[in-house]
Chain A
Amino acid sequence: MSRNDDEIREAAFVSLRRVAPEADPASLPLTANIREALEIDSYDFLQFLIALNKRLDIDIPEADYGKLQTMSSLLSYLRSRCDGAASG
């Protein structure tokens, strides 16, 4: 299922707010480490991925966790996963 950038960004923000309700993901610099900036522990990070999985209907293998560290890498990763899901 192909999605545009706005949908992906929105999904990322909504999912982040679920685990860090007091945070404003939109104000996060694109290059900041998301987990450090929003104080997300490994349990909350898993919750974040589960939320993304539900919203975007994409699987995120554990081996790819390292590609999700900054907002910029997260968004491009999600972009590629969504496109991949569309072609596959």
Chain B
Amino acid sequence: MTAATLVSWKIRPGDVVSRGQVVAEVETDKGVIDVECFNEGTVERLMSEPGQKLPVGALMAVIRGSVDDEPSMSAAPRPNVAANTISEPSATTSGARLKITPAARKRAGELGIALEQLHGSESDGVIGLTDVEGAAAAATTSTSPLRSEDGCDRMRRAIAAAMSKSKREVPHYYLATKIDMSRALAWLESENLNRPLADRILPAVLTLKAVALSLHDIPELNGFWIDSKFRSGDGVHVGLAVAMKGGGLVAPAIHDADHKSLDEIMSLFHDLIPRARSGRLRSSELTDATATLTNLGDLGVETVFGVIYPPQVALIGLGKITQQPWVADDNICARPVLTATLSADHRATDGRRGGQFLDALNRRLQTPEKL
């Protein structure tokens, strides 16, 4: 993601905002996203207009910090003014700002005029309404440059960019192991027996929790490779790869999955998966994941070796659970078997540590009652 178009503001100057509050909607390659606020305070001013395309890191609004510690009101602007920007880990600030009046910007959006094409006719170089109308008249025969492209194509391009970067820069190593799922599935079956349909837990929830706990066990796989060094995640936020009906995928984060109960994770599935498929995710859900989990078993795939989503350092792949011959206590029997794989960044970890992760995952799934 390199840019986003502001769709609407959810706040106005003077509003008091809190951390995590949804302050704006932006349209990106990954659909419409709710932008959350990083700070607490009072909205001083909004720096962008609906329809405006903003590069990642662009200043969106100025939020004045809390003044609780100040007994008297000061007329001078306080120094602790924080800026809310389009979020992405490697944020940069925008270049020179376009000088345009809000009304002109709004009109340009309505008419589908790209702001870069506009020039101010006033002496101060500020683009006014008349400049927009003029440009519109001159360009009546050309197609609308602001009209959004086909969402599918954009998602395809975003995936292409991320995956090319990964295969260009990330030295992957791959490990796989087979896990006997009989205990986990038997436990889940008895757990689901007395639950109404809507409260039943899917095997995918059980395995996600086991993956989260295993990432907690092996923290070197949970985080990012940035500026030639590993930075561990601020929690275990598992990105769950969700396939889109028309092709493409998104991987919204299940925050602190290692601390959530199976019921909480199941409720998050009911919340996240429909929103992911309809393109209604929040900014923190799209940017916070510390590792990704892909579940390709549903459509019959037995083993998946995934491509890491940079700057993450690990991708866990789970295949279809199938009945397979299994040796237990010197006897051959049929067991439900899951093939779990790990694709990991060799800059951050070595195969031995990766192997310990898959071992931890196996052990976790042998004691499902503790998940």
Chain A residues in the interface with B (C-beta under 8 A): 20-22, 36, 39, 41-43, 46, 49-50, 53, 59-63
Contact = CB atoms under 8 A, between A and B. Distances in A.
Contacts of B189: 62-63
Interface in B192-211: 192-193, 196-198, 200, 202-204
Given A62-B192, A62-B193, A62-B200, A43 B245 contact: no
A15 to B, nearest CB: 12
B203 A42 contact: yes
A82 to B, nearest CB: 16
Interface of B: 189, 192-193, 196-198, 200, 202-204, 243, 245, 269, 273, 298-300
Given A46-B197, A50-B197, A41 B298 contact: yes
A53 B197 contact: yes
A59 B197 contact: yes
A43 B198 contact: no
Given A42-B203, A42-B204, 18 more contacts: A21-B245, A36-B299, A36-B300, A39-B245, A41-B243, A41-B299, A43-B202, A43-B269, A46-B202, A49-B197, A50-B197, A53-B197, A53-B198, A59-B196, A60-B197, A62-B189, A62-B192, A63-B189
A84 to B, nearest CB: 16
A54 B355 CA distance: 45
A53 B197 CA distance: 8
A42 B298 contact: yes
B366 to A, nearest CB: 21
A45 to B, nearest CB: 8
Given A42-B298, A62-B189, A22 B245 contact: yes
A41 B203 CA distance: 12
Contacts of B197: 46, 49-50, 53, 59-60
Given A39-B299, A41-B298, A62-B189, A46 B200 contact: yes
Nearest to A62: B192
A42 B202 contact: yes
Contacts of A22: 245
Contacts of B243: 41
A59 B200 CA distance: 12
A43 B298 CA distance: 9
Contacts of B245: 20-22, 39
Contacts of A46: 197, 200, 202
8 contacts: A22-B245, A39-B299, A41-B243, A42-B203, A43-B202, A43-B204, A43-B273, A49-B197
A25 B189 CA distance: 29
Nearest to A21: B245
Contacts of B192: 62
B200 to A, nearest CB: 7
Contacts of A60: 197
A22 B246 CA distance: 10
